[in-house]
């Protein structure tokens, strides 16, 4: 059986940075060549970044992607890397955008993969299964491919597939079995969700059985707006055995030697398959010599605890949002509470303390222990700590306007927001807002007050998970002999906005241990009132919570973007009308 040395390049591209992404491909191909690789694979749309969204409709961008692919093939050859077979994802088109007046039936933009060799584009493949759920709108952008591309590489037939092709039974993987391939390369832009890695391996194993072939699964890492990609690239044998697996949330070169069955079908043969896909065959010329000596294995990375996984996802999502958008630093309000403490710790982990500004914004209702907790967090993390008392500014408003009750509470929050935005304007920081998913769900925030900001690292994190993350981060620091970043007082004290005397979140909301399961069922699980009550929740509490969620849609629509970690994040995932009279009966 031929042995193929495979390199999966788990890299972090940036949307729209064609030159930078091409340089990334060249750099990592060089590393793969140095490791003796023969076949190198990069993630879905690695050349353009993913997802490109409505850039698909710009003909200039499509043309630039196509030109960048041709230039990349030539540059790899000029780099002395032309003998390697390199699979890279990119944006292609075989006709005008489907939204254009000159659109042609069956032609348009394509989510594509190309195999590059010796300065040429040897073969292309167009993604067949287009996801149109959750964060995906690929039916809006692309047309599905109707062929399976099979490339003869070092005597082995290799099928090219893209992301969603793996998640659907039939189609390319069923066609790959009929085509007699030895390996299926699946390039991915698969966004992170908690526990998705537990689903992915069994799925790859099912597709290996369906194709009767080994699978090389390569996924990107990095943050792109609300999405974060965790990598988790892997190689699975035709028998379903996990042969190699890359770590999550870091760039990584996974190199693995695969013994694969020799190709049997003639290179030029084409056959119509039962699944309706044409098999298009091509071949590459001579590759670098087959590996000799002991087999190279890519290693197996053990999974980590849920809290560690989520923390790394949030750190990566925040770091890339800040760096890819070229913000020099971030600023946030430090109240001494758990939410701002977790966001501050995330920011320091993501950017370093010298790029994080924490501002204490005390009012007459701010407790002494909260001020001390904020200062203690700053001391532990080393961030730039400042104090800007808000009471004189609040008093100026109250001296000129007749305000009372919750209006005064909201005024305090809005004065804080004005101060943070002023520091942002003056010094160039990105303002981080700190509202968790539970608060966003029920509208427990002040519009243009504590909701103000350009990015929210914990937007998709339930309050109960906030506490778990804080405890995990402190325990992880202690395990490594470091100072835990979050004061125990911030973790242990009852949550409060401290906008009026003795105020607690529980004055307005059910306890979070009661609230979060209802919200998870309603928001993430789409359960109605009856389903929630049948699950054991108190009907009166359910009615109160659902009313709060339904009437807060206008606030959520104006909230800052934030990293998605759940199966249904506010914004891209959960899309409900603001003007909406439908209510669950209760």
Using the predicted structure, report yes or no on whether residue 267 has a pLDDT greater than 70: no
Which pLDDT score, from 0 to 100, does residue 292 have? 85
Do 463 and 511 touch, CB atoms closer than 8 A? no
Separation between Cα atoms, residue 523 and residue 441, nearest integer Å: 8
Return the closest-CA partner of residue 226 out of 566, 487, 491. 566
Question: What does the mean pLDDT of the chain come to?
Answer: 93
Bridge partners for 7 per DSSP? 40, 255
pLDDT value for 504: 84
Distance, in Å, from the CA atom of 481 to the CA atom of 478, rounded to the nearest integer, reads 5
pTM of the model: 0.94
Write the pLDDT tens digit of every residue in 273-326: 657 899 999 999 889 888 888 999 999 988 788 999 999 999 999 999 999 999
Per-residue pLDDT reduced to its tens digit, 454-503: 999 999 999 999 999 999 999 999 999 999 999 999 999 888 776 778 87
pLDDT at position 228, please? 97
Cα–Cα distance measured from residue 222 to residue 445, given in angstroms and rounded to the nearest whole number: 30
Contact between 106 and 206 (Cβ < 8 Å): no
- Give, in order, the Cα–Cα distances in Å from 498 to each of 388, 451, 507, 575: 16, 16, 12, 32
Task: Give the separation between CA 393 and CA 396, rounded to whole angstroms.
Answer: 5
Nearest by Cα to 407 from 547, 415, 333: 415
Angle, helices 306-324/338-351, rounded to nearest 10 degrees = 60
163 is known as an active-site residue: yes
Would you tell me how many other CB atoms lie within 10 Å of the CB of residue 428? Answer: 12
In the annotation, is 439 catalytic? no
Residue 63: CB atoms within 10 Å: 12
164 part of the active site: no
Cβ within 8 Å of residue 437, ≥6 positions away: 458, 459, 460, 461, 462, 463, 519, 523, 566, 570
DSSP 479-496: HTT---SS-HHHHHSPP-
* Burial call 211-225: b when 16+ CB within 10 Å, e when fewer: bbbbbbbbbbbbbbb
Say which residue the tokens 């044998």 belong to.
237
pLDDT band at 272 (very low <50, low <70, confident <90, very high): low
At 410-454, the pLDDT tens digits run: 999 999 999 999 999 999 999 999 999 999 999 999 999 989 999
User: What is the rounded distance in angstroms from the CA atom of residue 14 to the CA atom of residue 485?
Assistant: 31
User: For residue 312, what are its two tokens?
Assistant: 């790394």
Beta bridge partners of 43: none
Residue pair 214/236 in contact by the 8 Å Cβ criterion: yes
Confidence band of 268 (pLDDT split at 50, 70, 90): low
Residue 186 pairs in a beta bridge with 161, 217
The separation between the first and the last C-alpha atoms of the chain, rounded to the nearest angstrom, is 66
**Mean pLDDT, to the nearest integer, of 506-511?**
88
SS3 437: helix
Tokens 């790394």 -> residue: 312
Indicate which residue of 9, 138, 163, 226 is catalytic.
Answer: 163
Q: Collapsing DSSP states into helix, strand and coil, what is residue 216?
A: strand
Task: For 245-275, give the DSSP string.
Answer: EPPBSS-EEEEEEEE-PPP-S-TT---B-TT
Q: Which position among 9, 127, 307, 564 bears the catalytic label?
A: 127
Do residues 469 and 311 make contact, with C-beta atoms less than 8 angstroms apart?
A: yes
Cβ distance 57 to 97 under 8 Å? yes
* pLDDT interval class at 269 (50, 70, 90): low
Q: For residues 95 and 496, what is the distance between their CA atoms, to the nearest angstrom?
A: 57
Does 106 score more than 90 pLDDT?
Answer: no
In this predicted structure, what is the pLDDT of residue 572?
Answer: 83
Tokens of 493: 């004290």
- pLDDT tens string 351-366: 999 999 999 999 888 7
Percent of the chain predicted with pLDDT > 70: 98
The strand pair at 227-230 and 234-236 is best described as unpaired
């Amino acid at each position: 059986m031929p042995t193929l040395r495979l390199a999966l390049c788990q890299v972090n591209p940036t949307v729209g940075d064609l030159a930078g992404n091409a340089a990334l491909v060249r750099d990592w191909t060089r590393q793969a060549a140095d490791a003796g690789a023969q076949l190198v694979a990069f993630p879905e749309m690695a050349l353009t970044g993913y997802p490109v969204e409505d850039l698909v409709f710009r003909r200039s961008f499509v043309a630039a992607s196509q030109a960048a692919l041709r230039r990349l093939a030539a540059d790899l050859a000029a780099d002395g890397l032309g003998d390697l077979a390199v699979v890279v994802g990119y944006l292609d088109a075989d006709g005008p955008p489907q939204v254009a007046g000159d659109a042609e039936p069956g032609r348009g933009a394509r989510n594509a993969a190309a195999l590059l060799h010796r300065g040429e584009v040897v073969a292309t493949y167009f993604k067949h299964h287009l996801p149109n759920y959750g964060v995906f709108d690929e039916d809006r952008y692309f047309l599905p491919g109707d062929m399976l591309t099979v490339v003869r590489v070092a005597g082995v037939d290799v099928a090219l597939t893209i992301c969603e092709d793996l998640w659907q039974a039939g189609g390319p993987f069923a066609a790959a079995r009929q085509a007699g391939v030895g390996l299926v390369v699946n390039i991915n832009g698969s966004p992170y969700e908690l526990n998705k890695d537990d689903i992915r391996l069994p799925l790859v194993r099912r597709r290996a059985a369906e194709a009767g072939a080994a699978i090389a699964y390569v996924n990107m890492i990095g943050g792109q707006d609300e999405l974060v990609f965790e990598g988790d690239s892997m190689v699975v044998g035709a028998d379903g055995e996990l042969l190699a697996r890359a770590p999550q949330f870091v760039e990584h070169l996974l190199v693995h030697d695969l013994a694969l069955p020799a190709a049997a079908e003639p290179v030029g043969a084409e056959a119509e398959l039962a699944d309706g896909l044409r098999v298009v065959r091509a071949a590459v010329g001579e590759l670098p010599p087959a590996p000799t000596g002991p087999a190279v294995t890519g290693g197996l990375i053990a999974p980590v605890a849920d809290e560690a996984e989520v923390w790394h996802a949030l750190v990566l999502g925040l770091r890339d949002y800040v760096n890819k958008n070229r913000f020099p630093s971030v600023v946030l309000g430090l109240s001494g509470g758990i939410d701002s403490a977790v966001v501050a710790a995330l920011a320091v982990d993501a950017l370093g303390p010298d790029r994080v500004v924490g501002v204490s914004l005390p009012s007459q209702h701010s407790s002494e222990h909260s001020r001390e907790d904020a200062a203690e967090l700053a001391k532990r993390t080393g961030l730039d700590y400042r104090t800007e008392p808000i009471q004189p500014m609040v008093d100026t408003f109250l001296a000129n306007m007749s305000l009372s009750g919750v209006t005064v509470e909201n005024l305090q929050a809005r004065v804080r927001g004005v101060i943070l935005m002023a520091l942002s304007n003056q010094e160039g920081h990105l303002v981080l807002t700190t509202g968790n998913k539970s608060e966003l769900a029920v509208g427990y925030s002040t519009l243009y007050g504590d909701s103000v900001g350009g990015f929210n690292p914990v937007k998709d994190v339930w309050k109960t998970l906030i506490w778990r993350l804080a405890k995990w981060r402190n325990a992880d620091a202690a395990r490594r002999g470091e100072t835990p970043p979050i004061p125990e007082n911030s973790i242990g004290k009852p949550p409060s906005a401290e906008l009026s005397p003795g105020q607690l979140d529980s004055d307005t909301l059910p306890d979070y241990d009661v609230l979060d399961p209802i919200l998870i069922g309603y928001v993430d699980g789409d359960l109605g009132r009856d389903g929630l009550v049948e699950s054991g929740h108190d009907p009166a509490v359910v009615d109160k919570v659902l009313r709060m969620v339904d009437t807060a849609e206008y606030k959520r629509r104006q909230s800052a973007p934030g990293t998605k970690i759940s199966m249904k994040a506010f914004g891209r995932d959960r899309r409900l009308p603001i003007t909406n009279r439908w209510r669950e009966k209760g």
